[in-house]
Amino acid sequence: MSYEFAWLDYRKGVASRAADLLKKIALTGFDDAAATDKDILFSAELELKRASRDICGQEAVFVRDEAVSDGINIVFDKSLGLPEGAYGIEIDGTRITVKASSACGILYGVFRALALIRTGRISEKQITEVPTSPIRMLDHWDNPDGSIERGYSGKSFFFRNDHLYVDDRTREYARLVASVGINAVAINNVNVNDIATGLVSGYDRKELAMIAKIFGDYGIKLFISLNFASPMSLGATDTADPLDEGVAQWWKKTTDDLYKDIPGLGGFLVKADSEGRPGPFSYGRTHADGANMLARALAPHNGLLIWRCFVYNCQQDWRDHTMDRARACYDNFIGLDGQFDDNVILQIKNGPMDFQVREPVSPLFGGLKKTNMMVEFQIAQEYTGQQRDICYLIPMFKQVLDFKTYNGEGEGILCDLVTGKGLSRACGMVAVSNTGDDPNWTGHDLAAANLYGFGRLAFDPTLSSEEIADEWSRLTFGYDDTVAEGVSKMLMMSWPAYEKYTSPLGIGWMISPGHHYGPDIEGYEFSPWGTYHRSDRNGLGVERGKTGTCMIDQYNEPIRSIYEGLDTCPDELVLFFHRLPYDHVLKSGKTVIEHIYDSHFEGVLDVEEMIGIWESLKDRIDELRYKRVADRLQGQLRNAKEWRDRINTYYYRHSGVPDKQGRMIY
Ligand code: GCV
């Protein structure tokens, strides 16, 4: 399938004065670079050629190892001592200088300088950027048959017909995500099927190595998701017990072989003992036993073992009110703190449940003190509109990163913990990817703001959501203040709007079972998945405080007391933590039932406002993209109305409380 260039289409978004800078370019230190750096530096050079051709209509004049006074100077100099991936940019009107001590720093600096030129932001004098998060990763849930679990943008561009597939789109993908600083990518689904099991033992090895090489040219490490029971599935052993010598030997040999062909491999990603996947529990072993066994096979190659903490009982009895899925992640891992090898990282979902539109932060971040941690976000909008509805998730991610966990002495800001600044050692941020082979990569054109934004935020979490939205819009739709203002406003409205017209006050889980789009209020209510809201004629919510499942006790003080107290618990999470009657008065002054009615009516009005903004931009946006977004907005409006009417009607029928404002409830 053909593809577009998303925010890297240099024919769009150029401030003309700045474009002149692209006529003369000096590259210093490139020719003497080590072989491993040269490939990345070459990608930076290619980028400058491409940008100058597309922006100025002809390729820049390139000079080597001499400075230019009017144009761009790119200086690769290890003696500058800038950290890995960091760069400095100096601007003095007729000249831009990009400096870095690592090849990746040069690549990121070039992408940044081009973005500044295109958005006309060349008045700043000096910028130095150091990536905050050491690992900035995307996890793809792509399957060998080309399908993508929770994929909403077409098919996989890594796999087709049970084989890995490499073409020019592979390189375009690497270029796209490297432009926002992504440096690690897992290409296959954590739910590893039989064919993908073979990825570690030889299947499509040539293609795997080709992908690793292309990624490497853009400073990206390739990761493979693996099946914990691979030695058994492939018939080599009759057990997958991590303490069995034969199993450990098989993994060691398999890993050594893999690294012979792919020396730059990043490592493995594992989902174990989760939703039916095999894991160490079957052998009475712990997650630390399982993770360390694999980590030891990787250690001689400096590989990393990323182990997911999404472990819970998915065979729950809905009648049992004492069991609480929200407790599971913490309960399963807290006792293992300090038992993991240095090259193991625990990958923890941002919330204790599963990527709902609103969840508290997972308490595990505040609990682990001696373990490497990485936060896992989802930019694939599984529960947040599936890239049919707009839902700009960067403001949510920022709230999570800013969360004070009180892990240890100080405030234990989550962002510090996962980036190595605080108590934990260096780790990072990961997002479940939202890309596929749709021409625009992300299905909904505006969903690309989440891909762009995640990378930018992982690189620099101090950026505001508004800044990221504005920058993305200008790079995507062109140098137009009106468009940038309108698009940014739509993006900034979209997460609150989605939250308003879906399930209220942090309770979540009222989506259609299985595919997770659209409302189905009791869809999961009597299921084994542990996701209940327990609505009845008296009220709704799950009591997780002292009189309930005590999940709140997993948080450190003062968070514990804040969540426990009805007068201190934030409204947006109150039904996550407490069971409340319909007439309970929230901090907002509204009762629970009034909040439900009002927010659902408001959510639909917000979508109508977004449509109005988009329509006002009609003549400023190319026809194809204008129409694509306009069509999706109409679908979003239908969806929002369906949510509004089903939820309001359901709660009117349950509570018997009429809407004070007399609005239409069925
Ligand atoms: C990859 C949720 C999704 C699953 C996903 C799982 C996970 O349960 O619905 O599709 O599986 O999360 O994160 O492992």
* CA 512 to centroid of ligand 1, rounded, Å: 15
Q: Which of 129, 150, 167 is the last residue of a domain?
A: 129
Q: What is the CATH number of the domain that holds 525?
A: 3.90.1330.10
Which stretch of 7-21, 160-174, 249-263, 408-422 has the lowest confidence by average pLDDT?
A: 7-21
**Distance, CA of 591 to CA of 85 (rounded, Å):** 51
CA of 343 to the centre of ligand 1 (A): 25
Instruction: For residue 382, indicate whether it is catalytic.
Output: yes
Residue 409 confidence class, pLDDT cut points 50, 70, 90: confident
pLDDT digits (tens, 9 = 90+) for 594-622: 999 999 999 999 999 999 999 999 999 99
Asked if residue 141 has its Cβ within 6 Å of ligand 1, the reply is yes
In a domain, 663, yes or no: no
Q: Which atom of ligand 1 is nearest to the CA of 378?
A: 13
pLDDT level of residue 354 (50, 70, 90 thresholds): very high
Would residue 485 count as lying in a domain? no
What is the distance in A from the centroid of ligand 1 to the CA of 541? 23
Predicted pLDDT at 122 = 78
Q: What is the DSSP string of 537-573?
A: SSEE----STTTT-GGGGSPTTHHHHHH-TTTS-GGG
For 265, the 3-state DSSP assignment is coil
End-to-end, the C-alpha distance of the chain in Å comes to 45
Residue 642 annotated in active site: no
Is 568 contained in some domain? no
94 falls in which pLDDT band (50, 70, 90)? confident
Same domain, 58 and 178: no
Q: Closest ligand 1 atom, CA of 150?
A: 10
Q: Is pLDDT of 567 > 90? A: yes
Quote the pLDDT of residue 253. Answer: 98
Write down the catalytic residue from 382, 416, 470, 543. 382
Mean pLDDT (the chain) is 96
Residue 524 CB less than 6 A away from ligand 1: no
Q: Give the distance (Å) from ligand 1 centre to CA of residue 405.
A: 25
Q: Is residue 428 part of a domain?
A: yes
Residues 152 and 109 in one domain: no
**Distance (Å) from CA 294 to ligand 1 centroid:** 22
The tens digit of pLDDT for each residue in 627-648 reads: 999 999 999 999 999 999 999 9
CATH at residue 14: 3.30.379.10
pLDDT value at 133 more than 90:
yes
Q: Encode pLDDT of 509-536 as tens digits.
A: 999 999 999 999 999 999 999 999 999 9
Tell me the CA–centroid distance for residue 558 and ligand 1, in Å: 32
Domain match, 87 and 145 both = no
Task: Based on the fold, state whether residues 255 and 288 are members of the same structural domain.
Answer: yes
- Co-location of 203 and 98 in the same domain: no
Active-site choice (129, 217, 324, 354): 354
Q: Is 79 exposed, middle or buried (0-12, 13-18, 19+ CB in 10 A)?
A: exposed
Q: Is residue 599 part of a domain?
A: yes
Mutate to test the pocket of ligand 1, among 143, 150, 313 (most ligand atoms within 8 A of CB): 150
**How crowded is the C-beta side of 653, counted as CA atoms within 13 Å?**
9
Residue 9: pLDDT band (50, 70, 90) is very high
Confidence band for 426, pLDDT divided at 50, 70 and 90: confident
**Is there a contact between 457 and 451 (Cβ–Cβ < 8 Å)?**
no
Whether 354 is a known active-site residue: answer yes
H or E segment to which residue 470 belongs: helix 465-477
Atom of ligand 1 nearest to the CA of 189: 1
- The size of the chain, in residues, is 666
* Domain co-membership, 165 together with 119: no
Considering the domain architecture, whether residues 158 and 106 belong to the same structural domain is answered as no
- pTM passes above 0.85: yes
Q: Which uninterrupted H or E stretch holds 429?
A: strand 428-432
Please choose, from the candidates 398, 396, 421, the residue with its C-alpha nearest in 3D space to the C-alpha of residue 411: 421
For residue 455, the model assigns a pLDDT of 98
CB 354 less than 6 A from any atom of ligand 1: yes
Q: DSSP assignment, residue 584? A: P
pLDDT at position 13 is 63
Mutate to test the pocket of ligand 1, among 225, 354, 374, 386 (most ligand atoms within 8 A of CB): 354
Report CA(623)–ligand 1 centroid distance (Å). 36
CATH number for the domain spanning 403: value is 3.20.20.80
The answer to whether residue 212 is domain-embedded is yes
Rounded CA separation 458/456 (Å): 6
Domain-ending residue, one of 105, 129, 153: 129
Say what the pLDDT of residue 16 is: 62
CA distance 633 to 490: 11
What is the reported pLDDT for 19? 77
Range of the domain at 621: 501-542+579-655
| Domain count within the chain | 3
Do 93 and 239 reside in the same domain of the chain?
Answer: no
Ligand 1 pocket test target in 152, 306, 310 with most atoms within 8 Å of CB:
310
In a domain, 479, yes or no: no
The radius of gyration computed from the CA coordinates of the chain, to the nearest angstrom, equals: 25
Centroid of ligand 1 to alpha carbon of 190 (angstroms): 8
Residue 150 near ligand 1, beta carbon < 6 Å? yes
Q: What is the pLDDT of residue 218?
A: 98
Task: Please tell me whether residues 266 and 410 are part of one structural domain.
Answer: yes
Tell me what pLDDT residue 663 has.
96
Residue whose CB lies within 8 A of the most ligand 1 atoms, among 143, 188, 227, 275, for a mutation test: 275
| CB of 190 closer than 6 angstroms to any ligand 1 atom | yes
Out of 434, 463, 492, pick the residue that ends a domain. 463
Catalytic residue among 65, 77, 261, 275: 275
49-78 tens-digit pLDDT: 999 999 988 999 999 999 999 999 999 999
Q: Do 374 and 437 belong together in one domain?
A: yes
Is residue 93 predicted with pLDDT exceeding 70? yes
Question: Are residues 113 and 153 both part of a single domain?
Answer: no
The answer on 139 and 124 residing in a single domain is: no
Nearest residue (by CA) to ligand 1, atom 13, is 310
Within a domain: 563: no
